[in-house]
A and B are shown apart, each in its own frame.
Chain A
């Protein structure tokens, strides 16, 4: 009984001393916050839905999309949506929204992007600066270990639409270097509500030798949106919440290679 009382006294003493020590380290400074001098116009935000947990690379050694500006080859495939606003206000599909789908055979990666944009514009910037105008970016790597830099297997692809009338007018860059190569095929088609892009990218340029079913990969998708003739006002990703995908491969999301069956869309994952 005496022991219990002693213990309690010790406990009270310890709490008191701790409280005194703690408060002696604290400095409280008053702040007086003024009303915001600027409030952004009320935006019609929309529900971005739940982000897809991973993207799929639909693999088929025989069934290949034709890169011709007719996008039927992508119908029915489950892609991922780029709706994570890095900056540029709230997500609103009327301003910008994007669907990305990836396919592969034994030689090429194929990427499809359908971008909804209330002000689709051609982009006249050269490759390293093309992020300032309307364009899409695709990040891809086969090394799934966590790394906060780029390994030789990590790459960034940027596709820049350069004409509203000529679907073969584009700039294509890997790791910010423009590449003109007969093996690369790209088609861009504009509409009043946005633009669509499909591209075939040789494995040799992406550091890929072969993909196998159920192989895990890493990647992200990005929309650069510029409106009213000005420079980029919105940056949107599928996975990363920061503007660091070009530098830090750990900011990308997970992907997996899945078999594409003839019915397209019913895949073995």
Chain B
């Protein structure tokens, strides 16, 4: 009796201890459908997959290995823009360290999904790197489960964690081979491999829940493939994350299949559209905007309290900024490639059979400029950014069909497009303005003596020539002078400028003398003015280099 009592007290203290530090996030279903709650406050997931890889960097870029000042600068560049848009959650492919999860949450109120990729892009087992993860191997599974436990241990008391997700459309990556698989009939190999995957995902979710029972767990699945297997093998699942690219809509069957098979809430861990048209071969902000508008209208219609499947709790737009490394992965990193990477008929505005119409480097809600601001590539929001900023003002859970129709019907798409395109054009001009011509003018001065007394004569030419008593002849002269001012900004914070003048003759002063500064300086200048024109001279030159550490100018 005493023993049981002590254990109960210890358990209570243990959970109380954790709950004092951790938020309690949960999914809940009532007669109006599924919702996500932080304590008792509903959380509608209006999210963005936060990408930040700078122009010129590859997939191996590690923001978190930089010093804190730079990390803070990156976060403080993006999060205000995200917050202004209405984003309340980010998902990120790298593991955001706990202190930055808390920073983002405390300063901007934005939650983070902790996404353990669980060997999706390879795994190191016993010191050996395997690019294709074999989910059927015990050692691999042990490694990955240990990783999942570590993830939960690390984040269980971190403020700002919304939930844990495992994998990333890992069902598309069942590529390992082995005799145990190859001996199966061809039609069964993928299903058996998927069985290994989902059983591992279940082990990871279960281990995570044991350590942190205060946050939901889920998986990131590729579309709705293998729903039956998920139902069979993943009892710990709280939220089904789905990466889905279906064009304008996901269709009723999408939500219905999840509801009928799993009866769990679904969240789009990725959806969206690229902003490049493979047919017109140019940026197409309108296409991206209309796809996203249609997708989100449907998400609202299928959410809590609308009388349909009522099982979607929100989603993440893929992605925040364009990533310039994606097409070739390791080369052309500073080139914004326009070659399509894959084909999808759902995106019919630029689809043709045989054409890769999905441009991986153009999925950003913001373009990235080559120009930087404090070392970070400038973000150029596209039309879809402005559209979602307005659309997301509508509550996902507490809206009616009429509200949705009214809100999405009144979105000013022409204005969003105009603003997005204007910013894009301006930035393009700026990018091509590394060398600017600040001054370019030409002055022509004509002087002529006029011998009035001779005007009545028949020789008009002689009226414009004057010979004084010393025999010096004054006759009409013409001089031209040009100024060219150039400013260069080869890199951020450095500016240099110079003005060069060129002339044909020295102009006259008001007193009829020539300006001596147009002539070369010679040793005899004091006694006898030079008569040699310089023709060209540097009029002025300056430079400045301004950083937070030093300001140099001259």
- Listed in ascending order, the chain A residues whose CB lies under 8 Å from chain B are 27, 29-34, 36-40, 43, 45, 85, 87-91, 125, 128-129, 131-132, 149-151, 154-156, 175-177, 229-231, 246-249
B510 in the interface (beta carbon within 8 A): no
Pick the contact of A89: B187, B196, B229 (CB < 8 A): B187
How far apart are the CA atoms of A38 and B193 in the complex, in Å?
9
Interface code B173-207, partner A: CB below 8 Å = 1, 0 otherwise?
Answer: 00000101000011110111011101100000000
Residue in B closest to A155 when the chains form the complex, CB atoms:
B353
Interface code B123-144, partner A: CB below 8 Å = 1, 0 otherwise?
Answer: 0011010000010111101000
Q: List 23 A-B contacts (CB under 8 A).
A: A29-B125, A30-B139, A33-B136, A34-B137, A34-B196, A36-B192, A37-B196, A38-B191, A39-B192, A39-B195, A40-B192, A45-B185, A90-B185, A90-B187, A128-B348, A132-B251, A150-B352, A175-B353, A176-B351, A176-B353, A231-B254, A248-B354, A249-B354
With contact pairs A27-B128, A90-B185, A246-B343 given, residues A231 and B194 touching in the complex (Cβ less than 8 Å): no
Residue in B closest to A150 when the chains form the complex, CB atoms:
B354
Pick the contact of A33: B178, B348, B356 (CB < 8 A): B178
Q: Could you say which residues of chain B place their CB within 8 Å of the CB of A230?
A: 253, 257
B247 in the interface (beta carbon within 8 A): yes
B389 in the interface (beta carbon within 8 A): no
Decide: B188 and A247 in contact? CB cutoff 8 A: no
Shortest beta-carbon distance from A179 to chain B in Å = 13
B233 in the interface (beta carbon within 8 A): yes
How far apart are the CA atoms of A88 and B190 in the complex, in Å?
10
Shortest beta-carbon distance from B225 to chain A in Å = 10
How far apart are the CA atoms of A43 and B351 in the complex, in Å?
38
B436 in the interface (beta carbon within 8 A): no
Decide: A129 and B247 in contact? CB cutoff 8 A: yes
Decide: B139 and A32 in contact? CB cutoff 8 A: yes
Decide: B224 and A231 in contact? CB cutoff 8 A: yes
How far apart are the CA atoms of A223 and B232 in the complex, in Å?
28
Shortest beta-carbon distance from B344 to chain A in Å = 9
Decide: B187 and A87 in contact? CB cutoff 8 A: yes
Report the tally of A-B residue pairs with Cβ distances under 8 A: 111
How far apart are the CA atoms of A231 and B194 in the complex, in Å?
18
B345 in the interface (beta carbon within 8 A): yes
Decide: B187 and A247 in contact? CB cutoff 8 A: no
How far apart are the CA atoms of A125 and B249 in the complex, in Å?
11
B246 in the interface (beta carbon within 8 A): yes
How far apart are the CA atoms of A45 and B187 in the complex, in Å?
10
How far apart are the CA atoms of A33 and B179 in the complex, in Å?
10
B449 in the interface (beta carbon within 8 A): no
- Listed in ascending order, the chain B residues whose CB lies under 8 Å from chain A are 125-126, 128, 134, 136-139, 141, 178, 180, 185-188, 190-192, 194-196, 198-199, 224, 229, 232-233, 246-247, 251, 253-254, 256-257, 343, 345-346, 348, 351-356
Decide: A38 and B185 in contact? CB cutoff 8 A: no
How far apart are the CA atoms of A231 and B251 in the complex, in Å?
10
How far apart are the CA atoms of A156 and B352 in the complex, in Å?
10
A45, A129, A246 interface centre (most CB from chain B within 10 Å): A129
How far apart are the CA atoms of A246 and B125 in the complex, in Å?
39
Pick the contact of A176: B134, B190, B348 (CB < 8 A): B348
Decide: B199 and A37 in contact? CB cutoff 8 A: yes
How far apart are the CA atoms of A66 and B134 in the complex, in Å?
55
Pick the contact of A247: B195, B198, B353 (CB < 8 A): B353
How far apart are the CA atoms of A32 and B178 in the complex, in Å?
11
Shortest beta-carbon distance from A30 to chain B in Å = 7
Decide: B346 and A129 in contact? CB cutoff 8 A: yes
Q: Is the interface of A mostly helix, strand, loop or mixed?
A: loop
How far apart are the CA atoms of A38 and B199 in the complex, in Å?
8
Residue in A closest to B127 when the chains form the complex, CB atoms:
A29
Decide: B352 and A175 in contact? CB cutoff 8 A: yes
How far apart are the CA atoms of A155 and B186 in the complex, in Å?
29
Q: Could you say which residues of chain A place their CB within 8 Å of the CB of B125?
A: 29
Q: Could you say which residues of chain A place their CB within 8 Å of the CB of B229?
A: 38
Pick the contact of B128: A29, A37, A45, A155 (CB < 8 A): A29
Shortest beta-carbon distance from A90 to chain B in Å = 5
Shortest beta-carbon distance from A45 to chain B in Å = 7
Pick the contact of B190: A87, A125, A156, A229 (CB < 8 A): A87
Decide: A128 and B345 in contact? CB cutoff 8 A: yes
Residue in A closest to B194 when the chains form the complex, CB atoms:
A38
Pick the contact of A154: B247, B257, B354, B356 (CB < 8 A): B354
Q: Could you say which residues of chain B place their CB within 8 Å of the CB of A177?
A: 348
How far apart are the CA atoms of A129 and B348 in the complex, in Å?
10
Q: Could you say which residues of chain B place their CB within 8 Å of the CB of A27?
A: 128
Decide: A85 and B186 in contact? CB cutoff 8 A: yes
How far apart are the CA atoms of A85 and B186 in the complex, in Å?
9
Decide: A36 and B354 in contact? CB cutoff 8 A: no
Pick the contact of A149: B137, B141, B253, B354 (CB < 8 A): B354
Residue in B closest to A128 when the chains form the complex, CB atoms:
B345
Taking A29-B125, A128-B346, A131-B345 as known contacts, 16 extra A-B pairs with beta carbons closer than 8 A to each other, sorted by chain A number, are A33-B137, A33-B180, A34-B137, A36-B192, A38-B192, A38-B196, A85-B186, A87-B187, A91-B187, A128-B348, A132-B253, A150-B352, A150-B353, A177-B348, A231-B224, A231-B253
Shortest beta-carbon distance from A42 to chain B in Å = 10
Decide: A38 and B354 in contact? CB cutoff 8 A: no
Residue in A closest to B344 when the chains form the complex, CB atoms:
A128
Q: Could you say which residues of chain A place their CB within 8 Å of the CB of B352?
A: 150, 175
Q: Could you say which residues of chain B place their CB within 8 Å of the CB of A132?
A: 251, 253
Decide: B354 and A34 in contact? CB cutoff 8 A: no
4 A-B pairs with the lowest CB-CB distances in the bound complex, closest first? A150-B354, A38-B195, A37-B199, A32-B138
Decide: B351 and A38 in contact? CB cutoff 8 A: no
Decide: B353 and A31 in contact? CB cutoff 8 A: no
How far apart are the CA atoms of A131 and B134 in the complex, in Å?
31
Q: Could you say which residues of chain A place their CB within 8 Å of the CB of B351?
A: 128, 176
How far apart are the CA atoms of A176 and B180 in the complex, in Å?
39
How far apart are the CA atoms of A103 and B253 in the complex, in Å?
36
How far apart are the CA atoms of A140 and B355 in the complex, in Å?
17
How far apart are the CA atoms of A91 and B247 in the complex, in Å?
31
Q: Could you say which residues of chain A place their CB within 8 Å of the CB of B136?
A: 33-34, 36
Decide: A176 and B139 in contact? CB cutoff 8 A: no
Q: Could you say which residues of chain A place their CB within 8 Å of the CB of B192?
A: 36, 38-40
Decide: A38 and B247 in contact? CB cutoff 8 A: no
Residue in B closest to A245 when the chains form the complex, CB atoms:
B353
Residue in A closest to B351 when the chains form the complex, CB atoms:
A176
Decide: A40 and B126 in contact? CB cutoff 8 A: no
B188, B232, B352 interface centre (most CB from chain A within 10 Å): B188
How far apart are the CA atoms of A82 and B346 in the complex, in Å?
25
B125, B247, B354 interface centre (most CB from chain A within 10 Å): B354
